[in-house]
Amino acid sequence: MSDTVLPVFEHLAIGDTVVERTVAFSRDTLVRYAGASGDFNPIHYRDDVAQSVGLPGVLSHGMLTMGVAASPVSEWIGAAGFVLDYQVRFTRPVPVDASAGASVSVTATVGALDLEARTARIDLKVMFGGQTVLGKSQLVVAFA
């Protein structure tokens, strides 16, 4: 039996922070994601190729960053509901250093509530190196 407390729609207020998380990416993370997704573009694992096209080095897959950003919200809602919609705008890449990797922080706050539909818009602030990497990042969660 889990000790996880499920969120209650009626207890939410606009501006509430519902979850915060920092996720570390390593080059191994990128290789594993490439294998799972089938995206073997060499900018995600070879510095020389990334730099030859004007990038600072190896970059995280955009869809990996997007998935990592949504994951804490999906875990937070749990069995209380489900993700109805998810949209982002890719604003900056996430370079993943061969030694240091990269840390992406995610802060999820309630941006809007629809009392009739029992949905909440969750706004994500997704940051790397002090800069936003996903703009207009929003999920709509529906409560059972």
Residue 91, Cβ neighbours under 10 Å: how many? 13
- For residue 1, what pLDDT band results from cuts at 50, 70 and 90? very low
Residue 93 has pLDDT above 70, yes or no: yes
At a CB cut-off of 8 Å and minimum separation 6, what does 89 contact?
Answer: 134, 135, 136, 137
Question: pLDDT, tens digit, for every residue of 97-141?
Answer: 999 999 999 999 999 999 999 999 999 999 999 999 999 999 999
Residue 25 pLDDT > 90, yes or no?
Answer: yes
* pLDDT at residue number 5: 87
The domain containing residue 105 runs over which residues? Answer: 12-25+61-143
Please name every residue paired with 24 in a beta bridge, in sequence order, or none if there are none: 103
Number of domains, the chain: 1
What is the overall mean pLDDT for the chain? 96
Q: How many helices (H) and strands (E) does the chain have?
A: 3, 5
In a domain, 16, yes or no: yes
Q: What CATH number is given to the structural domain containing 139?
A: 3.10.129.10
For residue 30, being part of any structural domain is answered with no
Q: Taking the model in full, what pTM does it have? A: 0.92
